[in-house]
Amino acid sequence: MEFKKEILPNGLSVIGEVNKCAKSAAVGFFVEAGARDETEQINGVSHFLEHMLFKGTEKLSPFAVNQAFDKTGAQYNASTSEENTVFYAAVLPEYLAEVTELWTGLMRPALRDEDFNIEKNVIKEEIAMYKDLPSFEVMDKCRSLHFDGRPCGNSVLGSSESIDNLTVEQMRDYFANRYAPNNMVLACTGNLDWDRICSIAVGCCGNWQKQNVSRKLEHYGGSKKKSRIERSNLAREHICLMSPSVSAQDQRRFAATLLSTIVGDDMGSRFFWELVDKALAETATMQFGAMDGTGVFSSYIRCSGENVPRVLETVNNVFRDLSRSGVADDELQKSKNKILSALVIKNELPMGRLVDLGFNWIYSEQYRTVEDDINAIRAVTVDDIHSLIGQFNPGDFTQLSIGPA
Amino acid sequence: MEFKKEILPNGLSVIGEVNKCAKSAAVGFFVEAGARDETEQINGVSHFLEHMLFKGTEKLSPFAVNQAFDKTGAQYNASTSEENTVFYAAVLPEYLAEVTELWTGLMRPALRDEDFNIEKNVIKEEIAMYKDLPSFEVMDKCRSLHFDGRPCGNSVLGSSESIDNLTVEQMRDYFANRYAPNNMVLACTGNLDWDRICSIAVGCCGNWQKQNVSRKLEHYGGSKKKSRIERSNLAREHICLMSPSVSAQDQRRFAATLLSTIVGDDMGSRFFWELVDKALAETATMQFGAMDGTGVFSSYIRCSGENVPRVLETVNNVFRDLSRSGVADDELQKSKNKILSALVIKNELPMGRLVDLGFNWIYSEQYRTVEDDINAIRAVTVDDIHSLIGQFNPGDFTQLSIGPA
């Protein structure tokens, strides 16, 4: 493993971790552009823009883009979150240069009026589709309730209205600013020729213009509001609980991950034994979401309407017991084993490794080896968990439910 | 990479591929027990039995099984198909011995009456749940229509009726026969201590009794029947087409995989450009399913009711054109790149590698390196594809549709 780094004069970070033992390679652009960077007027633009990048450039039609990826046999995709937009591909080493060049081209899209108008309908279909997924909707709306009007609570998809009203000029303005080279990272991992990737970056991205671009960081303790939405077509109650936690830059993020595994891993956690195994709920999980400058603990529970009072009582008991009696050494150890094996297995593939490499850089401009993360997880003590609970008590939450009338 | 093999006196095959570069390890039992090994009376027993193995042994309660996996941090699961039942786990190397011992224990389950009766309801819930998934139902029922009463067309889940009527004694009999050591493979991959795994196998499985167990192999050309099922609650038409193909033992399986990618990969295939890109269908894919002694090509298409005539005409045109004009060299090349990158990326992880290692052994008692498969794919010519189409014309199919009245 060898770490490589080159910052171009326009601010584009190019980073790589070379692993000559790997059989594949991966490359991706990490862009600091997510729903939290949007105003209400242009809500949904980051995700819409992600779609538009596949519509091609001045030189490439949408059809040609598809053909170009196909030729390399790449496994490729993109995703947009509240925080970032990521474009990635995994390929055989001999196609890495070709697919990297393709991505650099797509990062300067044509954003044609015609494609924009067609794709608007695709986005609106996607918004409609997710409305049928209460597990998604309850998380999305609970985030918004928790952040109570602050940008971190913005919905990634936007609304039918915001998408309807969005103009291609607004998208072009947003693009020009957020897709500035100094707001992006080009990362690669696996079996790769670093000099080749670097020279592609210099040749293809060297003339991109630096911009003044920033993101407002602020930690927020959450509204702690409770609310419920009725949907006549639903048979089950969907409950989301959200509370503040540490940021993606905070060393305590490893303790936060372990705590959420102890409480809400899908198997063998406190939620599992108290709610799922006892058949009070069908699903009950808790996750830690690290964000730029802040973070959240979020839980998702699905159960029958009649079980809601007992479920909420049990959840409150789990959190109360956590505050009072803390966690046991053996459950911390068990959670470490789960997190460590998931971490090692994920990072064993160049594609999985790319994600951690890119996010560590975009959040902290920091290179961390897998071993650094393993050691950080191993080092977490029961006292670390207790002090985290003391400061970020997951029992003090914002709550949103969606269920039948 | 080093291949290891040990056949115990009772017939249990223990195989391993040691990769000292890997950061994780995987282990699994591959059992030649699937729906095709069932009679009508006990249909669904293989899948039900897979569930029962997690209920523990004479020494381990269901709770203790869960705790034991949790302790190792394993990513573990099992699956049952028409052909096989597979149990697997991926772990950090230091937990491989522990999780292997755990699996060897679970392969001799208690099959308690009480657990059997409780789990029966879980299985029936699963059957009910899949009834709401027309994409699953159409494939399942089309397979049955294609094999026209032969065991290869048996449903994996069974029916509510067959599960209701199943007795625990029938399950115990089935278990005693199909889970004989000479009908199973214990495989491991990744960073592992072969001697340690071998001594666990000898110590824990050495006393299992060999049985007379066999499977009837016969190639069948398919019924070519056409049928349609109406469901008043459906909004879309779900179409499955099935035709015969080569077996898992046949060297032409690589050509069959490439052909199905050319015709029906989810992106950039003939189906994609003719059906999905033209908005005639929402999904249109074709797959090659290698089976023991036989095989199938199966296509799945979802579209609106009004588009059905044009969709079927287009599908027939695609297949007719394939028979008449064959495939082009560049589309074969493109498909090779896709299949090769998927193959390499999958096999890069010990868990992915385990699957190919185990199946090659269970089907052919053959060890193949990833390079063997890469070379076999690279060697396929346009003529190979044409000769395959000549013998197994995918245009001559059994057809089942499920859609609105």
Chain A residues in contact with B267 by the CB 8 A cut-off are 66, 69-70
Query: Which tokens is A287 given?
Result: 């996750």
Chain B residues in contact with A344 by the CB 8 A cut-off are 23-24, 92
pLDDT of A42 higher than 90: yes
Cβ atoms of A218 and A153 within 8 Å: the answer is no
- Cβ distance A349 to B348 less than 8 Å, yes or no, reads yes
**The pLDDT value given to residue A131:** 82
Mean pLDDT of A17-39: 97
Q: pLDDT digits over B180-200, tens only?
A: 999 999 999 999 999 999 999
What are the DSSP calls for B238-263, one per residue? Answer: EEEEEEEE--TT-TTHHHHHHHHHHH
For B286: left if phi > 0, alpha if psi spans -120 to 50, otherwise beta; the answer is beta
Rounded to a whole number of angstroms, the distance from the CA of A39 to the nearest CA of chain B is 33
Strand partners, B302: B238, B283
Q: pLDDT digits over B323-340, tens only?
A: 999 999 999 999 999 999
Q: pLDDT digits over A44-99, tens only?
A: 999 999 999 999 999 999 999 999 999 999 999 999 999 999 999 999 999 999 99
Q: How far apart are CA A362 and CA A353, in angstroms?
A: 14
Q: How far apart are CA B185 and CA B365, in angstroms?
A: 10
Q: pLDDT digits over A304-328, tens only?
A: 999 999 999 999 999 999 999 999 9
- Cβ distance B338 to A71 less than 8 Å, yes or no, reads no
Query: Which one of A121, A344, A347 makes the best mutation probe of the B interface by having the most chain B beta carbons within 10 Å?
Result: A344
Q: How far apart are CA B253 and CA B245, in angstroms?
A: 8
Cβ atoms of A71 and B337 within 8 Å: the answer is yes
For helices A168-178 and A45-52, the axis angle rounded to 10 degrees is: 90
Strand partners, B297: B243, B288
**The pLDDT value given to residue B229:** 97
CA max distance for chain B: 63
Q: What are phi and psi of A230, to 5 degrees?
A: -100, 140
Residue of A nearest to B332 (CA): A71
Strand partners, B16: B4, B188
pLDDT of A400 higher than 90: yes
Mean pLDDT of A360-367: 97
Residue type, B167: T
Residues of A near B (Cβ–Cβ under 8 Å) read 21-24, 66-67, 69-75, 90-92, 95, 267-268, 334, 336-342, 344-345, 347-351, 370
**The pLDDT value given to residue A130:** 87
Q: pLDDT digits over B14-28, tens only?
A: 999 999 999 999 999
Residue B40 burial (CB count, 10 A): 11
**The pLDDT value given to residue A216:** 87
Q: pLDDT digits over A138-187, tens only?
A: 999 999 999 999 999 999 999 999 999 999 999 999 999 999 999 999 99
Chain A residues in contact with B370 by the CB 8 A cut-off are 23
Chain B residues in contact with A339 by the CB 8 A cut-off are 73
Mean pLDDT in chain B?
96
- Cβ distance A268 to B66 less than 8 Å, yes or no, reads yes
Cβ atoms of B338 and B66 within 8 Å: the answer is no
Rounded to a whole number of angstroms, the distance from the CA of A277 to the nearest CA of chain B is 10
- Cα Rg for chain B, rounded, in angstroms? 22
- Cβ distance B23 to A370 less than 8 Å, yes or no, reads yes
Query: Which one of B65, B337, B340, B343 makes the best mutation probe of the A interface by having the most chain A beta carbons within 10 Å?
Result: B337
Q: pLDDT digits over B244-283, tens only?
A: 999 999 999 999 999 999 999 999 999 999 999 998 999 9
Residue of B nearest to A96 (CA): B341
Long-range residue pairs from B211-217, CB within 8 A, at least 24 positions apart, any chain: B211/B176, B211/B177, B211/B180, B211/B182, B211/B183, B213/B32, B213/B177, B213/B178, B213/B180, B213/B182, B213/B183, B215/B32, B215/B36, B215/B37, B215/B292, B216/B151, B217/B292, B217/B293, B217/B294
Beta-carbon contacts of A43 under 8 Å, excluding residues fewer than 6 positions away, are A35, A154, A155, A158, A159, A162
Chain A residues in contact with B374 by the CB 8 A cut-off are none
